[in-house]
Amino acid sequence: MLNSVNLIATLKKVDEKNPKIRYCEITRPYQLLRKNEKDIDVIPLVNWNKDKIGELFTYKNNSIVSIGGRIETLDDRLVVVTEKIEYLGLKG
């Protein structure tokens, strides 16, 4: 099966239980009718070589990045494997 993921997201913290995973946040560009605030999706990311060494872990928290990759399972949960990452700026 082929799959491809392209994201523009804000990088957040590294998972405390599994340091190979870093989270990113994506703010949905619309508001739900039941709320006045925007929803934020939190997505787990892993480096393409499944190690904590790599470009994914060199950027600071709140860095805005463009990510290209694929979806895989790691420890019985879905993650995005980052194959390409490009720095776009710092949020805030």
d(CA 66, CA 40): 17
Q: Which residues pair with 86 in a beta bridge?
A: 66
CATH of the domain at 68: 2.40.50.140
Q: How far is CA 33 from CA 27, 30, 41, in A?
A: 16, 10, 17
Query: Domain range spanning residue 59?
Result: 5-90
| Residue 40 vs residues 9, 11, 31: alpha-carbon distances, Å | 10, 13, 10
**Residues 15-26 pLDDT 10s:** 999 889 999 999
Domain count, the chain: 1
Dump pLDDT digits (tens) for 54-63. Answer: 888 889 999 9
